Amino acid sequence: MESSLIEELKSKAVVIRFNPFSSEDELIKILSGCDIIVNRKSKLTGKIIRFLPHLKMIARTGAGVDETRIDLHAAKNRNILITYNPGMNSKAVAELTVMHALVLFRKFKTVSEKIKEKKWNEAQSQIGFELNGKKWGIIGFGSVGRNVARITSGFGCHIHVYDPLVEPEQISGLGYSPMEINELLASSDVVSIHVPLMPSTYHLIGKGQLSLMKRTSIIINTSRGGIIDESALYEFLDSGKIYGAGLDCLENEPMKNDEPLASLNNVIITPHYGGTTYESYRNGADGALTEVLRFIEGLQPLHKFLY
């Protein structure tokens, strides 16, 4: 879905469309005269930023800003304005999070494979779990976490929340249970992660944390790769110490052909596409182009990244 603001932008600037998956050298050539880049999927490396002498602004259509898309050190050295769109894809990511839980608990991966193999009886014999009555632990109570809480409450889940930046009274006021992270991990049937990747959250979930979880529990990460220690996760999943994992992001992307986690039957991996819906793309484009138009008009950004 194209943003309704694109025609207004065309009346005020020369607009160039480019393939976000172009090579580094191709991007430098295509973008060489640009003052502003509207970006979602391209990796704007330090080399690209250094070779774009006119670049003044990067408007992210995505919800956050991190090193997976922009070399922040290079951008900071150039004093480039970066804007972003908090919450633009939170409903989409929340829905994907719940989908991962349903697929894992109902053994959809195994059932689908058995059907393709024409093994109807084996597929029908797969027994799963319901979400109703389960304890769902949410790590990170921002826009995505709150949408997950809203959706899973409708399934009859009991919601546990860990977020050191949110007052416990605010969480309990919404009818949820605030908890410290270790208590949440030990008591929850489902744990979903919704925090940004930063030094304090890198490998937030490691061997010690996974050891607290129930054998019948699942863990889901639809935020950023690197928050879970994947070698530890593989060990716990392969040995059956936890029931399953749903991952929409990996520490190294794109996924390698020999990724160990992909070989496990109790793992669901999707290609970091939680926000890949027509609705969230439209929201992101509208938000980014609003910031660009404000910049052109000399107005302050609504959501400025602080280096």
Residues marked as catalytic: 224, 253, 272
Q: How far apart are CA 307 and CA 305, in angstroms?
A: 6
Could you tell me which of 209, 187, 205 has the C-alpha nearest to residue 134?
A: 187
Q: How far apart are CA 36 and CA 8, in angstroms?
A: 15
Burial class (CB in 10 A: 0-12, 13-18, 19+), 237: buried
Burial class (CB in 10 A: 0-12, 13-18, 19+), 122: middle
Could you tell me which of 249, 63, 202, 199 has the C-alpha nearest to residue 143?
A: 63
Give, rounded to a whole angstrom, the gap between the first and last alpha carbons of the chain: 31
What 3-state DSSP class applies to 162? strand
Amino acid 202 reads Y
Question: Do residues 62 and 84 lie in contact, with contact meaning Cβ atoms separated by under 8 Å?
Answer: yes
Burial class (CB in 10 A: 0-12, 13-18, 19+), 10: exposed
Q: Residue 246 is encoded by which pair of tokens?
A: 């749903």
What 3-state DSSP class applies to 90? helix
